[in-house]
Structure 1
Amino acid sequence: MDIDGFWELVERSGRETDSRPARSAWLEDHLSGLTAEEIVDYQTWFTVCANRGCSWDMYAVFWTVTGFGSSDGFEYFVNWLISLGRDTFEKIADCPDRILELPEIQRLFELARTFSHERTSRSRNGRFHLKRVTHTRREFWPREDSPDFESFAYVTFDPYRQATGLEPDSLGDAVRAKGVHGKFPFLSYHAAPDGEEWDFGDKDEFIRRLPRLARHYGVTD
């Protein structure tokens, strides 16, 4: 399976189902009809794409939009971006600041307006920081709208077990044997997102790296 075949399956799963559980089940069903080698290929391309989305600027986007920062949460956010399809994923992977162009993100902002319009604040020492999404607001997001898709990364596990009789851990070994090493979860694997690490609370750096997102949240010089 090449990269085009991978994206064809990802996008068909979205067109032919109407919920996330159904989508995962659809992929599992179709992958179960493939050879073990093809299943490894699919997982390899998924890992390549996830690695591409693993950057510090993307982490800042995740941190800002969702209101929390964690290695696992960031991984599930990137999974969700992959689930949106090739054109969308590549656009955001190339320029995380374009996240505002996604109708899915605009939907989340519309839901969030129910709670608060306040976007920024300053601490006692005057240091800038974003007033991020609260836990209550995240709970308000419907499951199908939430920008995370943990199970999207697991659809190869059962098909691989059925095809080989081996546990999913060996699937990771097979992907690494192809020279592809996953970056998620980066805290566990002692890896790091691509690019230069930076302080997301630094107003000037935030404006420089993510000017559109900064404008949306009212971050100014």
Structure 2
Amino acid sequence: MDIDSFWELIEECRRQAQGPDERLAWLRGALSQRSMAEVVQFQVRLDEVTHEAFTWDLWAAADQIFGGWCSDDGFCYFGLWLVGLGRDAFTQAVTDPDALAATPEVQALVGRPRDVWNDDWPGWESLDYVAMEAYGNLASVDDECGESFYEAVDAEKGDGGGTSGPLGEQWDVRREDEAARKLPRLRVKFPLR
């Protein structure tokens, strides 16, 4: 599965199902109809694109949306959620994190207390497990922990090292001058308290 096929599957998932649970069920079913190699390649592509989103600027955007603090795990789930927005929104956010302010999914959160975001919460942890689940459906052996799946993913990736931390320079959205310069629209929509 190349990157275009990956994004086509994500876009089709968006068209076919609403809400995170329904979309996961659809995606799991669609992946379960493919070869084990394609399922592994889906995970490799997912890891590649979420790595693209692993930047300090996007982390700051998540911090702004979440009220000034986004944990390590929360940022990982935020990156997966960005993938779920589709290729265009994802690419725009990686290029200009403040562009998130214009996405319907972010606009739907504006002015609402975070404790009622529920299914609209900007995080999608389960996306990171859907390929493993589909692989398990296809595997002829019990793979409860996903060991053979992750071994296959590592083998497919090869020696592509990558960086260990976020790309770019770290900065803090609580610095008003920097937030006003780098995230002007998100700062207005999600003021820190």
TM over 0.5: yes
The secondary structure found in structure 2 opposite 1:64 is helix
Residues of 2 paired with 1:49 and 1:169: CA distance? 22
5 Å-filtered alignment, 1:96-115, equals: 96-110=97-111, 112=112
How many residues are treated as equivalent by the alignment?
A: 186
Residues 205/12 of structure 1: CA separation in 2 closer, same or farther (3 Å cut):
same
Please say if residues 76 and 148 of structure 1, whose CA atoms lie closer than 8 Å, have aligned partners that are also in contact. yes
Residues 23/218 of structure 1: CA separation in 2 closer, same or farther (3 Å cut):
closer
Instruction: Note if 1:80 corresponds to 2:81.
Output: yes
User: Residue 152 of structure 2 aligns to which amino acid in structure 1?
Assistant: A
Q: Which residue number in structure 2 is paired with residue 153 of structure 1? A: 128
The secondary structure found in structure 1 opposite 2:82 is helix
The structure in which a higher percent of residues are helix is 2
Residues 182/40 of structure 1: CA separation in 2 closer, same or farther (3 Å cut):
farther
Residues of 1 paired with 2:190 and 2:18: CA distance? 32
Q: Which residue number in structure 1 is paired with residue 152 of structure 2? A: 174
Q: CA RMSD in A?
A: 2.2
Residues of 1 paired with 2:190 and 2:63: CA distance? 13
TM-score (norm 2): 0.85
Residues of 2 paired with 1:26 and 1:218: CA distance? 36
Q: Which residue number in structure 2 is paired with residue 90 of structure 1? A: 91
The secondary structure found in structure 1 opposite 2:130 is coil
State the 1:176 CA deviation: 3.1
Instruction: Note if 1:203 corresponds to 2:179.
Output: no
Please say if residues 64 and 187 of structure 2, whose CA atoms lie closer than 8 Å, have aligned partners that are also in contact. no
Residues 36/194 of structure 1: CA separation in 2 closer, same or farther (3 Å cut):
same
Residues of 2 paired with 1:27 and 1:182: CA distance? 27
Please say if residues 80 and 147 of structure 1, whose CA atoms lie closer than 8 Å, have aligned partners that are also in contact. yes
State the 1:208 CA deviation: 3.1
Q: Which runs of 5+ in 1 are unaligned?
A: 113-136, 184-190
TM-score (norm 1): 0.75
State the 1:182 CA deviation: 7.9
State the 1:204 CA deviation: 2.5
Percent sequence identity over aligned pairs: 38
Please say if residues 175 and 181 of structure 1, whose CA atoms lie closer than 8 Å, have aligned partners that are also in contact. no
Residues of 2 paired with 1:204 and 1:140: CA distance? 30
Q: Which residue number in structure 2 is paired with residue 26 of structure 1? A: 26
Measured against aligned partners, the alpha-carbon deviations of 1:120-164 in whole angstroms (never above 9, x if no partner) come to: xxxxxxxxxxxxxxxxx21122x2322111112211112212334
5 Å-filtered alignment, 1:20-59, equals: 20-59=20-59
State the 1:198 CA deviation: 2.0
Please say if residues 6 and 45 of structure 1, whose CA atoms lie closer than 8 Å, have aligned partners that are also in contact. yes
Structure with larger Rg: 1
Please say if residues 17 and 26 of structure 2, whose CA atoms lie closer than 8 Å, have aligned partners that are also in contact. yes
State the 1:25 CA deviation: 0.9
State the 1:66 CA deviation: 1.5
Residues 43/146 of structure 1: CA separation in 2 closer, same or farther (3 Å cut):
same
State the 1:61 CA deviation: 0.7
Residues of 2 paired with 1:73 and 1:218: CA distance? 19
Residues 94/173 of structure 1: CA separation in 2 closer, same or farther (3 Å cut):
farther
The secondary structure found in structure 2 opposite 1:197 is coil
Measured against aligned partners, the alpha-carbon deviations of 1:12-48 in whole angstroms (never above 9, x if no partner) come to: 1111112321111111111112111111110011111
